[in-house]
Structure 1
Amino acid sequence: MLDLTWLDPLVQHFQLGDPDPPEAIRVGLIHQTWKLNTSEGSFIAQRLHPRLDPAVTEDGQAVGQWLRQQGFPVPQFRRARDGSLHLSWAEGLWRVMECLPGSSHSTPPDGSYLEEAGAAVGRLHRLLAQWQYRFRFQIPHFHDTAHLWQQLRQRDPAPEVRAEWQFLIETVPHLLLPSGIPTQIIHGDLKFNNFLFDEQGRFVGLVDLDTFMYHNLYVELGDALRSWGKRGNTFQPKAILAGLRGYAQTGNLHTLQPELIIQGIQLITLELGIRFLQDWFEDCYWNWDPQRYPSRKAHNLARCQQQICLYQDLTQMAPQLLEPMRALVAAARELAFG
């Protein structure tokens, strides 16, 4: 039976009105998340993961406020009567944000959704490149692949994960991006179900405000295209190219190198494999599905194995993907420079 003892205190603290029974949202991998329909409107309630400092909500509120001022749609966290952004309840911190209109999709219904998402990301990057912000909290070593690799290297792998451990330890160092690539504020977690679309498939909002950070665009696009292009254990080249076509519409693509875009996808695919395998050892971070797996360890191992399969598939198709990527970048450069 679900524990809903938090509901009444949350509703009172944030003055949400009379709530209908909450709906659990299970697509996220970290927070406990619920949708609340109340007499005051529709809201998203989250129990903050204990590894995240509450300052992450303050950061999300600041970035979100600035983006909304520029006309870019992201949710707003709700403040309580006392001005706070959190409720402390049952050894956890809860927060509430407005529920934006639109629907999310675990996979793109068709290529036009990917072009919409790509164009939204291009617009986001152009806006964030104009802004500076001092973050109060950053997820430790998020997208710091070299550090994550060093941590995994220090593990003594059990026989059931030795093959995955050895593959990651041997492969990842060759994928690290060159030093000196320019950085800017990025979103940090552009998986496809973080995008909201209307009934006509137009982009109407971007959610998940916990991962904004300074990093390079190859890491950002690598994570996005990894999410947008995967189907099971394989990648779909048409999906990756559709996302890049949308991104090119905003004038950003001409500054990027196609080879490093592919390398970014490969790198982030295996970085996620490292993170899943690390939680196989620690057994405390990622949410897991007890309907499909007997334990968090089993689910994390399956996730790690999937990332390795995806990397291998992308590596095989990279030569055929590189030529159309070069054509997209060349067209973008001709449009930018004449």
Structure 2
Amino acid sequence: MSTATFSISKIQNIAKNFAIEGDIESAKPFGSGHINDTIFIKNAETNSPDYLLQRINHHIFRDVEGVVVNIARVSAHLDHKLNGEFKTENGVERVLTLIPTLKGSLFFKDEDGNFWRMYHFIEDSVSYDLVSSAKQAYEGGEAFGRFQRMLADMDATLLTETLPNFHNIKFRLNNFYQALADDVKGRVKEIPEEIELIKSYEEFMCSLYEMGQAGKLPTRITHNDTKFNNILFDKNDRVICIIDLDTVMPGYVAYDFGDAIRSLVNTAEEDEADISKINVNMSLFKAYTEGYLKEAGNFLTPEEVESLYLAVFLFPYMQGIRFLTDYLQGDTYYKTAYPTHNLVRTRSQFQLFKKLWSHKSEIKSIIEAEQKVASA
């Protein structure tokens, strides 16, 4: 369902269920997320804050209460740390602030069965779909490394696993092979090269999963959706806040590292149709890894550091599988702009994987070298 479905009067009526200040001047769609609908609420009162109203996609996030409770608990923990021993040097880092409803709930359910939540809008911030400098990459690595470090002493069992098997490659492969067998849209004939690639690297890609199953990787609280545009920066490219906490739940640190690299080093957009434009920016990889391990390196186990290398390749491979599975099933999960959008996304991710694979020795060396610096 698109935000275009909702009239301004509908949005105003929904927003008035939350404990907001002032009156609503305007409301318009905001951001470019694939899953939820986000609306920017402009306050008519100049001294009152603006807000972001979000419709939570409850077809994907079926445990809406679990999602918002996870966000509230993690935000409270981070807020405590940021006002204590982990206060950042520039003093601007913040956490997301959920606005309760007038009845004290963290979400509102409307008469049509849609679930809504509201945040304070963070002013004077910017996010990047494509990273243009090593400074941005380094700051982003520090931000996600610090995020994990600040949550390292929080009991992961306090959080609900809101998306079971979200980064479980075995689960994703099983879904893919089922979609392949069903071929409900008759699209299998279009993807022989993609099928061959998936099968060729399947054993290697399951190695991180096997480490976890063998108990070699501790379960920690992780973000699980570390695309670079989930970091808000100020005008000086300093981190203000990590956003989009819907997927915060128990996981392995490598999940966050691999997904961040996937979005960071790509020289093209995630849905670039011309794969000749897709390459790997290794200077950004090095900068991000340096920033990340500066913050996270001291609490990671040797096995976790090893898993970072595996995750670099796993995440474009797995994301390509997810896009391709959705394409085979008729585009029911991701928002699409045209009929072959998910296929284009798939091929973009697999090209990125191939480019990363060609740098595997350099990637391993950089991780090992930066971990030595962090541990010194």
Tell me the TM-score normalised to structure 1 length.
0.90
CA distance in 2, matches of 1:19, 1:169: 53
Q: Which residue of 2 aligns with 1:167?
A: 197
Q: Which residue of 2 aligns with 1:134?
A: 158
SS at match of 1:75: coil
Paired amino acid for 2:263: S
Q: Which residue of 2 aligns with 1:23?
A: 28
Q: Is 1:54 aligned to 2:64, yes or no?
A: yes
Q: Which residue of 1 aligns with 2:5?
A: 3
Check the 8 A contact 1:229/1:240 in 2, yes or no.
Answer: yes
Q: Is 1:88 aligned to 2:109, yes or no?
A: yes
CA distance in 2, matches of 1:245, 1:65: 28
Check the 8 A contact 1:191/1:227 in 2, yes or no.
Answer: yes
Paired amino acid for 2:310: Q
- The 3 A distance-change label for structure 1 pair 264 and 97 is same
Check the 8 A contact 1:172/1:270 in 2, yes or no.
Answer: no
CA RMSD in angstroms comes to 2.0
Q: Is 1:114 aligned to 2:127, yes or no?
A: no
Check the 8 A contact 2:135/2:287 in 1, yes or no.
Answer: yes
Structure 2 gaps, min length 5: 83-92, 269-277
Q: Which residue of 2 aligns with 1:236?
A: 281
Q: Which residue of 1 aligns with 2:316?
A: 269
SS at match of 1:209: coil
Q: Matches of residues 144-163 of structure 1 in structure 2 within 5 Å?
A: 144-154=168-178, 155-156=180-181, 157=183, 158-163=188-193
- The 3 A distance-change label for structure 1 pair 7 and 165 is same
CA distance in 2, matches of 1:328, 1:51: 37
TM superposition shift of 1:15: 4.3
Partner residue of 1:324 out of 343, 363, 366: 366
Q: Percent identity?
A: 25
Q: Which residue of 1 aligns with 2:244?
A: 208
Partner residue of 1:187 out of 223, 231, 244: 223
- The 3 A distance-change label for structure 1 pair 246 and 256 is farther
Paired amino acid for 1:58: V
Paired amino acid for 1:234: N
Q: Is 1:45 aligned to 2:53, yes or no?
A: yes
Paired amino acid for 1:314: L
CA distance in 2, matches of 1:105, 1:266: 22
Q: Is 1:97 aligned to 2:119, yes or no?
A: yes
Q: Which residue of 2 aligns with 1:220?
A: 256
Paired amino acid for 1:83: G
CA distance in 2, matches of 1:211, 1:2: 25
Q: Is 1:125 aligned to 2:148, yes or no?
A: yes
Check the 8 A contact 2:161/2:250 in 1, yes or no.
Answer: no
Q: Which residue of 2 aligns with 1:314?
A: 356
Check the 8 A contact 1:149/1:169 in 2, yes or no.
Answer: no
| Alignment: residue pair count | 328
Cα deviation code 1:150-176 (max 9, x no counterpart): 221223252113432342233233222
Check the 8 A contact 1:126/1:252 in 2, yes or no.
Answer: no
Tell me the TM-score normalised to structure 2 length.
0.81
Cα deviation code 1:95-140 (max 9, x no counterpart): 1111123211112231111111111122111111100142235113
CA distance in 1, matches of 2:306, 2:19: 51
Paired amino acid for 2:13: P
Cα deviation code 1:162-202 (max 9, x no counterpart): 43234223323322212322221111111111111111111
Q: Which residue of 1 aligns with 2:345?
A: 303
TM superposition shift of 1:236: 0.8
SS at match of 1:189: coil
- The 3 A distance-change label for structure 1 pair 234 and 273 is same
Q: Which residue of 2 aligns with 1:14?
A: 18
